[in-house]
Structure 1
Amino acid sequence: MAGFYDKPMILCLIFTISFGLFLSYTSAELQRFLHPAKTDGSLSFLVIGDWGRRGYFNQSEVAFQMGKTAEKLDINFVISTGDNFYDNGLIDENDAAFEESFTKIYTAKSLQKHWYSVLGNHDYRGDAEAQLSPVLRKIDSRWLCLRSFIVNAEVAEIFFVDTTPFVNEYFTDADGHKYDWREITPQKSYVTNLLKDLELALMESTAKWRIVVGHHAIRSVGHHGDTQELVKELLPVLQANDIDFYINGHDHCLEHISDTESRVQFLTSGAGSKAWRGDTTELNREGLNFFYDGQGFMSVQLCLTEAKIDFYDVSGKVLHRLHTSKQLHPSI
């Protein structure tokens, strides 16, 4: 874990859950969690997004296949890319939808691991702060959702970014929806400060693999397409800091797009339940490697020199595989 304890940090929280001890720190303004890798130094996790529909729209079927894959890979944890509860987030921290869409759906023994989650735009249409509440962790100890934070998993650092406040349309043309902007406004200040904190944390990172997770796509050929605010404001930060992967949801599909100007690979896993929109964005298809319009999920396996990423459909079939490698020691 070289590079983790050698930076100035402030211990701010320690909590124990049924499957391990996690230490939380602050680095700049982003809360940091330590999640140990496996004893051999490797790391594996699943990624699911746009899922919480009480088991409907094949959510339960996807969950079943996730359980099988998680057992096979002996995963360390699960990442949720947001839109955790449809259609309008949670009513409050006692909303039955939490258990009906999460606890009672992802029941496989192999999925009883930590779930690291970000908020999506649909989550902001309800009580956004309910999903951040420690009350939910008392109901289901797997759950951890914050606006933006960092998970240090030794071989990789994963930077979770709250992307919904970047999108101007949600503030100027809410289309009849009410968003929970507590702690967010003024929008410009919130986004500016978040980008500063993220950039500082990325510059300090010495992890072999660096991954950024957000709800909205930077690049997508799906229904929503590219998120222009992220292309303008977030992408340059990722490119300047040699990020390996940007993982998102929002479009209800599976995608792999390569950046044409940097090493960043854009990976969409937003197919946890309702999918099959049947439309794609025809603009900006540069770098497109894979697109699938149906339900599914993604797995990530990392060691010091290799990354293997698989995309699965609702039956557990591998549809696409990304395999990339790095030198153990950088060339001089």
Structure 2
Amino acid sequence: MVSIKPMMILIILGLCLILECGKAELPRFEHPIKPDGSLSLLVVGDWGRRGLFNQSQVAAQMGKMGEEADVDFIVSTGDNFYDDGLTGINDPAFEESFTNVYLSPSLQKQWYIVLGNHDYRGDVLAQLDPILTQKDKRWFCMRSYVLNTDVAEFFFLDTTPFSDKYFSDPDHTYDWRGILPREEYLSNLLKDLDTALKQSTSNWKIVIGHHTIRSGGYHGNTVELENRLLPILQENHVDLYINGHDHCLEHITTSESPIQFLTSGGGSKAWKNKFNPVNKDDLKFYYDGQGFLTMKITKADLHFQYYDIFGNILHQSSLPKGFYPM
């Protein structure tokens, strides 16, 4: 494993761009934790709209909460640039939707990013290109990778290629470079994830993807992930699955396993009154407005909070380590 440094990011991203990623074991990186043994982070998704649809207001509150929590890094759950990704490495949308929006001092930390389906509508390799890291050193985007933080391991997963509908969408085109043949790509990705999870000795295992597994939002559950990904998460005692895609904030549990399903897709445009009924005993929290997620992790427990654009705490929960039966 290697520590994240700007030059190393450029080297690794360049290699992965050449290899088109996903064809070897998942790349692994490290991020240091605080001297007291804790880790703090922010999670935001579905944000890239040049500051519009309250993106700037979300960013401002993220900055305030980020300073208060002394965050170590920020996670993006995908759909980084609307509506159709980036046109290339020189697309001004990169600065207009990222660099010039997340201006607060507390947000000048490393951003760990996955791709969403809207990102695949544009030049998907542009978001993986090390030139973007030269433009803004915070930017770290790969298809899939593992981030070790001593108290927790984060498994970032490329979920868009799992969805059948994007491969037959008559209204949009998608950039599948590096994905085809699709079944080989997905099989290798799932095998590599399973191996990485089995090898993990971390206190907390957290998987991050763009698409939902469980959701009461507009998109609802993603059947392909339920069938192919969820069994691997359950078998390997994953603690949390965090996603975007549905433009809302939610916390779901199910009786079938102790995995906590957290949606943080309220980075800009939200969907009002587009709720799909779910088991009321499973749904712990749902908010169809803009906002974001904060998280503090220690070896003993994990605490998370959802905030709206006014800085109000909408929902919070604490999980003691050991709640997942081994």
- TM-score normalised by the chain length of structure 2: 0.92
Deviation at 1:54, TM superposition (A): 0.3
Matched, 1:169 2:165: yes
Deviation at 1:21, TM superposition (A): 9.5
In structure 1, the residue corresponding to 2:263 is in which secondary structure?
strand
In structure 2, the residue corresponding to 1:87 is in which secondary structure?
coil
Task: Name the counterpart of 1:246.
Answer: 241
Matched, 1:42 2:38: yes
Task: Name the counterpart of 2:175.
Answer: 180
1:189-216 deviation per Cα after TM superposition (whole angstroms, max 9, x unaligned): 1111100000000000000011000000
* Greater mean alpha carbon deviation, residues 271-280 or residues 247-256: 271-280
Alignment of 1:1-332 (within 5 A): 16-17=5-6, 29-172=25-168, 174-283=169-278, 287-327=282-322
Contact 2:50-2:96 within 8 A present in 1 as well = yes
Contact 1:15-1:22 within 8 A present in 2 as well = no
Partners in 2 of 1:286 and 1:65 — Cα distance? 31
Deviation at 1:284, TM superposition (A): 5.2
Deviation at 1:276, TM superposition (A): 3.0
In structure 1, the residue corresponding to 2:270 is in which secondary structure?
coil
1:47-81 deviation per Cα after TM superposition (whole angstroms, max 9, x unaligned): 00000000000000000000000000000000000
Deviation at 1:260, TM superposition (A): 1.6
1:248-268 deviation per Cα after TM superposition (whole angstroms, max 9, x unaligned): 000000000013211200000
* Greater mean alpha carbon deviation, residues 152-161 or residues 285-294: 285-294
Partners in 1 of 2:9 and 2:144 — Cα distance? 21
Partners in 2 of 1:168 and 1:331 — Cα distance? 34
Deviation at 1:185, TM superposition (A): 1.1
- 2:115 partner amino acid: L
Partners in 2 of 1:323 and 1:187 — Cα distance? 39
1:202-241 deviation per Cα after TM superposition (whole angstroms, max 9, x unaligned): 0000000110000000000100000000000000000001
Structure 2 portions without partners, runs of 5+: 17-21
Contact 2:4-2:31 within 8 A present in 1 as well = no
Alignment root-mean-square deviation, CA: 2.4
In structure 1, the residue corresponding to 2:27 is in which secondary structure?
strand
Deviation at 1:24, TM superposition (A): 6.8
Compared CA separation, residues 52 and 331, structure 1 to 2 (3 A): closer
Partners in 2 of 1:252 and 1:212 — Cα distance? 19
- 2:217 partner amino acid: G
In structure 2, the residue corresponding to 1:263 is in which secondary structure?
strand
Partners in 2 of 1:229 and 1:285 — Cα distance? 23
Task: Name the counterpart of 2:19.
Answer: none
In structure 1, the residue corresponding to 2:252 is in which secondary structure?
strand
> Higher helix share goes to which structure?
2
Contact 1:58-1:273 within 8 A present in 2 as well = yes
- 1:59 partner amino acid: Q
Structure 1 segments, 4+ long, off by >4 Å, are: 20-28, 283-286
Q: Count residues with an aligned counterpart.
A: 318
Task: Name the counterpart of 1:5.
Answer: none
- 2:79 partner amino acid: D
Partners in 2 of 1:299 and 1:291 — Cα distance? 16
- 1:247 partner amino acid: I
Deviation at 1:283, TM superposition (A): 5.0
